A = this chain, B = another copy of it.
Amino acid sequence: MNEGIFKAMSDSTRRKIIELLKEGPKTAGEIANHFSFAQPTISRHLTVLKNANLIVDQKDGNFIIYRLNTTILQEWLGWIFEHFGGGDSDEKE
């Protein structure tokens, strides 16, 4: 359930895409222009993010606009904090 998100987040290019989309929605091309990889490579990264439900796409004429799925991202952050945040039993040492 979270597996796809963790996998998606484990790649630094995809993390950069997420950060880009935090600034606001962007077309696939705009996103690709931020990187020096071939366009299809970025397209596939976008697909991974989309399959993880972290981003959402919307056709606009010739373009495809991607935007963050803020809800999922926040839920993921919440899950992470629940599981890994907070104290551990070794705090007194």
A39 to B47, CA, bound (A): 35
Contact B88 A68 (CB under 8 A): yes
- Among B6, B12, B22, B88, contact of A84 (Cβ-Cβ < 8 Å): B22
Contact A90 B77 (CB under 8 A): no
Contact B19 A83 (CB under 8 A): yes
A6 to B12, CA, bound (A): 9
**Given A18-B84, A19-B83, A84-B18, A90 and B24 contact (CB-CB distance below 8 Å):** yes
- Can you give 21 A-B contacts (C-beta < 8 A)? A3-B12, A6-B9, A6-B12, A6-B15, A10-B10, A15-B83, A18-B84, A21-B88, A22-B84, A22-B88, A22-B89, A23-B88, A23-B89, A24-B88, A24-B90, A68-B88, A70-B88, A73-B84, A74-B85, A77-B84, A80-B80
